[in-house]
């Protein structure tokens, strides 16, 4: 039998346990969590807005023109006033060769030309085409000898006809005339040869002058120096690369458009280009479209001309292009800050009866204007901005 004091203590303990407050339970007997304070949120209406229908592709910027410049003649490099990154204008001097040898060639060609003109009897003021072949000194001398031989032949024929000279003397005179006649024809050919030599000397002079002009290397386009491959004092063979020049405006963006979207692409469609490291959007237009698909990846090559008047874009930059294929397309948009993405699932929270309701959505195109909602909510639904770690069914209040 237990002592009386033990029985009294046990009775007091059981009484205290039965009088302790119990946590509320639900219909299944599980305890609920304590109800927290109402969360204040900011909401915005999901609205249909006119937007542009876009085809979004990626690519790499390239220079519209890239030129490797070199001299047409060999020589020693005298000057190169540009360097890597230098901006140059069309016609600006890029480099210059030592011109000493080329100036000597020009003077040599001028002397040879003058000699050829003298042989034709031309004065310094006479043009090359003013040569009268029959009135040149060579031709007139041969003509005079032929005329004299003809006169002797005529007298000999008269004497021979009268029987005053033997036939042998007549034949000798006749042969002399034929020789003089041949010499005259030969003199005309000689003058024509001298004319041809004059033309050759004229061409040699023009070549020498052109080679002298080719010692100056100028920019064929406006752009910037991408590479410099030569230094002052270096001997350069003809065609050796001196610099590489790239055109900076406009730039060319090459993109591969999937076959399913290619049917909507047209020349001159506007393009909005976003480039890594260059703020803002840059305007362009579809300039060229390939006539055939690439059979390996089923894409169509599309080239876009991108304006770069400010010069902030650089060839080689990775870019995203939004090709505007249609304007005025209506889409249901919500702010980007209202969409929660986790594990590939997009969600938004709407407010219904003072509580947050989690809704899965199918998102379409994303832009600075908003996220396109393809399915999940309707126009007029209120979505929560910046929901963070909000839970479905959480009590919310509007700010």
Residues 263 and 343 in one domain: no
Measured at the CA of 368, the angle between CA 362 and CA 370, to 5 degrees, comes to 35
Residue 23 lies in a domain: no
Residues 159 and 221 in one domain: no
pLDDT at 36: 59
Report strand pairing: 318-334 vs 370-375: antiparallel
pLDDT at 145: 96
Residues 366 and 384 in one domain: yes
Residues 300 and 367 in one domain: no
Residues 86 and 225 in one domain: yes
**CA 275 to each of CA 131, 280, 284, 285, 311: distance values in angstroms, whole numbers, following the listed order:** 68, 8, 12, 15, 13
Residues 175 and 236 in one domain: no
Residue 233 lies in a domain: yes
Residue 323 lies in a domain: yes
Residues 108 and 163 in one domain: yes
Q: How many domains does the chain have?
A: 4
Cα–Cα distance, 95 to 216 (Å, whole number): 6
Residues 162 and 142 in one domain: yes
Residues 159 and 191 in one domain: yes
**In which domain, by residue range, is 190 found?**
100-213
Residues 109 and 142 in one domain: yes
Residue 20 lies in a domain: no
127 Cβ contact list (under 8 Å, min separation 6): none
CATH label of the domain that carries residue 252: 2.40.30.170
Q: Digits of tens for pLDDT over the chain (399 positions)?
A: 444 444 444 444 444 444 444 444 443 344 444 455 788 999 999 999 888 888 999 999 999 899 999 999 999 999 999 999 999 999 999 999 999 999 999 999 999 999 999 999 888 888 888 888 999 999 999 999 999 999 999 999 999 999 899 999 999 999 999 999 999 999 999 999 999 999 999 999 999 999 999 999 999 999 999 999 999 999 999 999 999 999 999 999 999 999 999 999 999 999 999 998 888 899 999 999 999 999 999 999 999 999 998 889 999 999 999 999 988 788 899 999 999 998 889 999 998 888 999 999 999 888 777 899 999 999 999 999 999 889 999 999 887
Residues 369 and 306 in one domain: no
Residues 78 and 139 in one domain: no
161 Cβ contact list (under 8 Å, min separation 6): none
Burial profile 76-103: b = 16 or more Cβ within 10 angstroms, e = fewer:
ebeebebeeeeebeeeeebbbbebebbe
Q: What sign does the CA torsion over 50, 54, 60, 61 have?
A: negative
């Amino acid at each position: 039998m237990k002592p009386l004091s033990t029985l009294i203590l046990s009775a007091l303990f059981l009484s205290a346990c039965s009088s302790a407050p119990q946590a509320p339970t639900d219909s299944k007997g599980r305890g609920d969590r304590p109800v927290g304070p109402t969360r204040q949120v900011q909401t915005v209406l999901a609205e249909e807005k006119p937007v542009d229908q876009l085809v979004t592709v990626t690519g790499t910027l390239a220079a519209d023109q890239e030129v490797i410049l070199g001299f047409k003649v060999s020589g020693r490099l005298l000057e190169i006033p540009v360097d890597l990154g230098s901006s140059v204008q069309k016609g600006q001097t890029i480099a210059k060769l030592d011109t000493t040898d080329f100036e000597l060639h020009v003077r040599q060609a001028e002397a040879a030309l003058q000699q050829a003109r003298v042989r034709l009897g031309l004065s310094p003021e006479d043009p090359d085409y003013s040569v009268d072949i029959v009135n040149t000194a060579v031709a007139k001398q041969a003509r005079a000898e032929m005329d004299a031989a003809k006169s002797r032949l005529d007298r000999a024929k008269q004497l021979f006809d009268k029987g005053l000279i033997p036939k042998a003397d007549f034949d000798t005179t006749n042969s002399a005339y034929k020789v003089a006649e041949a010499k005259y024809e030969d003199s005309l050919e000689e003058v024509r040869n001298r004319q041809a030599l004059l033309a050759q000397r004229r061409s040699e002079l023009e070549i020498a002058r052109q080679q002298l002009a080719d010692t100056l290397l100028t920019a064929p386009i406006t752009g910037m120096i991408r590479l410099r491959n030569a230094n002052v004092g270096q001997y350069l063979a003809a065609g050796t690369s001196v610099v590489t020049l790239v055109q900076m405006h406009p730039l060319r963006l090459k993109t591969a458009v999937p076959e399913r979207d290619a049917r909507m692409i047209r020349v001159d469609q506007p393009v909005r280009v976003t480039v890594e490291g260059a703020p803002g959007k840059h305007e362009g237009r579809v300039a060229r479209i390939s006539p055939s698909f690439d059979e390996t990846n089923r894409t169509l090559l599309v080239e876009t001309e991108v304006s770069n008047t400010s010069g902030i874009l650089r060839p080689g930059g990775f870019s995203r292009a939004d090709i505007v294929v249609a304007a005025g397309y209506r889409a249901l948009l919500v702010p980007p800050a209202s969409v929660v993405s986790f594990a590939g699932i997009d969600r938004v929270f709407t407010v219904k009866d003072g509580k947050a309701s989690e809704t899965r959505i199918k998102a379409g195109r994303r832009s600075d204007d908003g996220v396109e909602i393809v399915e999940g909510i309707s126009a007029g639904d209120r979505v929560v901005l910046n929901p963070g770690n909000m839970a479905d069914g959480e009590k919310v209040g509007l700010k």
